[in-house]
Structure 1
Amino acid sequence: MGRSKGGLKTKIHTRTDALGNPTGFYLTGGAAHDLCGSDELLDVSISQTWLADKAYDADARVIEPIKAVQGNAVIPSKCHRLQPRDFDKELYKARHLIENFFAKIKQYRAIATRYDKLASHFLSAIHLVSCVVWLN
């Protein structure tokens, strides 16, 4: 899972597969915490292994639901955690795929500058660009 600032006041939360192809989107306000996107995109029935950055290091909202289905959470611990969790550092290196996806969609000026005023129109543009990413 990942997120990117799209436009001035919108975050794009995205879920991708192991190849970096998008499988889900959710928009929030720019000031919203990343966990708001995880609440919508975390579907533990989709995958056994979840890679995410430190922002998703939340026991009740992310880690415990993944572990409840014997999944693997590859999420580094935040620095203030008293007992840091171990995670597979080699597997975590694959998280660059989500960043690559954001780089691909930001090649489209309408996404990078957020031409659309309505969130529904902006989300539609993201879906359209994602189709192009899937086809390439």
Structure 2
Amino acid sequence: MNTNSSMAALGASVGARPLMGRAYEGDPTRLPAESFGLAPVVPPKRNRTAPWDYDREAYKGRNMVERVFNRMKHYRQAATRHDRLDETFLANLQLIPIAIYLKNTAKNLTSVNTP
């Protein structure tokens, strides 16, 4: 089994649906993903002569993922990668979302308890 057929089998078995921005909706990007058995979720550009349907609800999840990465970049450890060990960098990447969650939870609790 060659690499392309194994990638196609993996994509089809997992049901992978990569969320892609409109900048990557061109045929050179989208068609190879489809040939690997992936179902890319990407809206067509407005000037497409033959637009396709896409899962709008799944595409909305892309915005949430981008916002999480943007918030993570506010932490210097993740943005500058000063860690020498990969394990330390990975640990920081795992701790940052926890810190963001706790910060937002504390902010919500104070706004609810404030008269």
TM-score, normalisation: structure 1: 0.46
Q: 1:129 to 1:59 in 2, by over 3 A?
A: farther
Identity percentage of aligned residues? 27
Counterpart of 1:103 (choices 52, 70, 93) is 70
Equivalent residue, structure 2, for 1:55: 23
Q: Kindly provide the CA deviation profile for residues 17-73 of structure 1, in whole angstroms up to 9, marking residues without a partner as x.
A: xxxxxxxxxxxxxxxxxxxxxxxxxx875762111210111212x211221132211
Q: Answer yes or no: is 1:80 the counterpart of 2:43.
A: no
TM-score, normalisation: structure 2: 0.53
How far off its partner does 1:106 sit?
2.6
RMSD of aligned Cα (Å):
3.2
- d(CA) in 2 for partners of 1:127, 1:64: 33
Q: 1:84 to 1:97 in 2, by over 3 A?
A: same
Structure with the greater alpha carbon radius of gyration: 2
- d(CA) in 2 for partners of 1:67, 1:106: 31
Equivalent residues of 2:42, 2:54 under 8 A apart: yes
5+ unaligned residues in a row in structure 2: which ranges?
1-6, 99-115
Higher helix share: 2
Counterpart of 2:32 (choices 53, 61, 65) is 65
Query: Which of structure 1's runs of 4+ aligned residues deviate more than 4 A?
Result: 43-47, 109-112, 126-129
Q: Which amino acid aligns with 2:45?
A: K
Equivalent residues of 1:105, 1:111 under 8 A apart: yes
